[in-house]
Structure 1
Amino acid sequence: MLTLVASAYFPAAANADATALSLRGQAARAGILIGSGAINPDYLDEPQFARVLATQFNSLSPENELKWANSQPQQGAFDFTKLDRLVSFAKQHRMAVKGHGLISSCCNPPWLEQIQDPAQLRAAMTTHFKTLMTRYAGKMDRWDVATEIFSTFGGTGLEKNYFYRVLGPDYVAEAFRIAHAANPKAKLFLNESLVEYYPAKRQELYDLVADLVRRGVPISGVGLETHLTFSPPEPGVITDIVKSYKALGLQVAITEMDVHLTPLPNNGEYGNQAEIYGNIVNEALDAGVRDISFWGFTDKHAYTWVPGAKPLMFDEQYRPKPAFFATWTAVARH
């Protein structure tokens, strides 16, 4: 695998202006979607945040604003305010928008989880999906229908979440069918974490998806979250994953990439972080991935479970880190 070291390509990287090189521009030339997720619409109040987002990315997706507790906090009472703001920003700056996410194990309002009758839950899902997907038809081009449906480290099957408990293990197939009925033209993805690291979880995901395809369930692809902690997955793993789903006729996207390292003295963490960013993006693009999103872009608004980690491509002052230049270089190669 090619090792991309930012300083080898950009000796003056530390002094570069965030707008001097456009990641978005390189992605456009290569026909690649390069996006930022975790976009809380309130962040757009910061002019510098909005400027870097629009300059560097051609796609965005919300953080939690689409999840059920925020989009329909009370039954029948939808809140589109923040989602509309994201869609308006994207339209203004000619960006795609991904719908993240219709179902997840978190973020369900109390009224929803009080429903224990399967028929009533299916009706609630139908109303919820149809309302959102109709409103944003032609504005959100792809959707994470279900996110993080397996146990964290794999090996124990589907997480026994609320939807599983009420509808049983086939709730995933039901969700995709309901989403397809709501918007037959939308691309529908199953989004999962940590499959790059854990072979048992990787196999569980593949077996489920292969079964969905075999049964004719309308699924377009698989999203690999790619939250990387301390070290990257083994070289070639992403390539193998992409090949396996391509053989099923499906797309693969990198959906939430970030790199969480414990900071070292003398900025030592930046070099290793840059290599990981560059190598993963390079391998994904070589394998044929054409949709890559990061879980935010500035450490000012980063979430991390590693104390002191700075996981994103821009620092708190919106200055590009070596990880940005390594990513830019990987995209430029394609």
Structure 2
Amino acid sequence: MKFFFFPTGLAAMILLACTMKETANVVQTVPPTTLAEASPFPVGFAINPSPMQNNARYRQTVTQEASSITADLAMKPSRISPQKGVFNFEGADYLVDFARSQKKRVHGHTLVWYINTSPEWLKQLRDSTELETTLREYIQTVGTHFKGKVASWDVVNEAFDNNQGAIRRDSVDKSGRTLFNVGKILGNDYVARMFQYAHKADPGARLFYNDYGQETIPAKLNAIVAMATDFQQRGIPIHGLGLQMHISIDTPDAGIETAIRKLADTGLLIHISELDVAMNPGKKKDFIATPALIEQQYQKYKFVVSTYKKVVPVSQQFGITFWGVDDGTSWIPGHCQCTDYALPFDAQFARKRAYQGFLDGLH
């Protein structure tokens, strides 16, 4: 048996070379540090001007984690046109300017909504010709203002009834009072005309139809798919479908996968456009987020992301957008008058187990 002895200097050099090689391998395999870096498709947040301007942690989180933004309220009709003939783009322009300065995509939300956030003056219109003209002029003004700055629009939001899967014909409040309803005044095909007006205003923008409950209401899902197919056959300029995905830890996985798959089968771009996962679907006033519930939320986020990535062809993956940034500014507690923690960041902007669920879903 022979023994070999390296001179001290040579041995040290070999050891150093091996160490440097292993270090290089480690550096190359360090996981991405943000959602935007980790995801092969755009990741977005719905944001508002006030916290962007006044909360440094909120702004920092959006800047670091997002590759796309959606205006939560600032681009809704009631904010842009609070009075007839008056247009106020200040809040929306601020968000667009921020996004462009950070090289982030802007998704516009929304040009037409059947009632919610429609300005009060618009809700008073009942004549079909006057309403049609007003909406066309509104879309033309807003679309032209943001032309070349906004990559895409939710042209019409939530037009379908939850029960029959038909265009909304009646809309009433909790007291039974009839409310303003675009579909009732303009007829079922008004959605197609709104898309035509939006395309004329900005031919370069991608145009989406956006709705909620598609993962739990088969009639609505099927009606939306049928409308999208009809639009494609008729040459109506529709480019994508928005699946809002306001879900909870109890939302069946099968329904989520069915909705994503059926929308993807249209061949259009698919946007999970308003994602959050409620932990307190029962709206309990004394709710506490237990470790078991936190784990369920982690698994639901992971399932949504992995299913989207698996089912939607890469060419159709428009991205996933959270409806909000952190639990402290989420819309859910105010809506349900209860405690909930539906987003990937807590109120102090710390990454939650849900955040890891999104990352794990990618792999």
For 2:163 and 2:358, how far apart are their aligned partners in 1? 29
2:117 counterpart of 1:99: no
2:311 alignment partner in structure 1: 287
For 2:146 and 2:163, how far apart are their aligned partners in 1? 33
Contact kept, 8 Å, 1:213 with 1:248, in 2: the verdict is no
CA apart distance, 1:134: 1.3
CA apart distance, 1:132: 1.2
2:146 counterpart of 1:136: yes
2:127 alignment partner in structure 1: 117
Structure 1 runs not aligned, ≥5 long: 1-19
2:281 counterpart of 1:226: no
CA apart distance, 1:225: 0.3
Contact kept, 8 Å, 1:154 with 1:204, in 2: the verdict is no
1:7 alignment partner in structure 2: none
2:205 counterpart of 1:196: no
For 2:80 and 2:214, how far apart are their aligned partners in 1? 28
* Fraction of identical pairs, as percent: 28
2:276 counterpart of 1:258: yes
1:82 to 70, 82, 91: 91
Contact kept, 8 Å, 2:249 with 2:300, in 1: the verdict is no
2:20 alignment partner in structure 1: none
Structure 2 runs not aligned, ≥5 long: 1-31, 170-179, 281-286
2:182 alignment partner in structure 1: 163
Report Cα offsets for 1:239-259 as digits up to 9, x if no partner: 444443444331111000101
The 5 Å alignment of 1:315-334 reads: 315-331=346-362, 333=363
2:76 counterpart of 1:67: yes
Distance 1:249 1:60, change over 3 A: same
SS class of match (1:196): coil
2:28 alignment partner in structure 1: none
Q: Size of the alignment, in residue pairs?
A: 308
RMSD in angstroms over aligned alpha carbons? 1.9
SS class of match (1:252): strand
2:327 alignment partner in structure 1: 299
Distance 1:103 1:255, change over 3 A: same
Moved more, 252-261 or 205-214: 205-214
Query: What amino acid sits opposite 1:73 in the alignment?
Result: P
Contact kept, 8 Å, 2:264 with 2:311, in 1: the verdict is no
CA apart distance, 1:330: 2.2
Contact kept, 8 Å, 2:80 with 2:89, in 1: the verdict is yes
SS class of match (1:270): helix
Contact kept, 8 Å, 1:238 with 1:284, in 2: the verdict is no
Query: What amino acid sits opposite 1:248 in the alignment?
Result: T
CA apart distance, 1:214: 2.0
For 2:90 and 2:69, how far apart are their aligned partners in 1? 17
CA apart distance, 1:126: 2.0
Distance 1:242 1:302, change over 3 A: closer
Distance 1:238 1:251, change over 3 A: farther
Contact kept, 8 Å, 2:240 with 2:271, in 1: the verdict is yes
2:23 counterpart of 1:23: no
CA apart distance, 1:232: 2.8
2:296 alignment partner in structure 1: 272
Moved more, 121-130 or 244-253: 244-253
SS class of match (1:143): strand
Report Cα offsets for 1:103-146 as digits up to 9, x if no partner: 11211122222333322222212221111111111211010001
2:146 counterpart of 1:127: no
Higher relative contact order (CA 8 A, sep 6+): 1
**TM-score under structure 2 normalisation?**
0.80
2:204 to 171, 185, 189: 185
SS class of match (2:106): strand
Contact kept, 8 Å, 2:208 with 2:241, in 1: the verdict is yes
1:42 alignment partner in structure 2: 50
For 1:189 and 1:265, how far apart are their aligned partners in 2? 35
SS class of match (1:268): helix
**TM-score under structure 1 normalisation?**
0.87
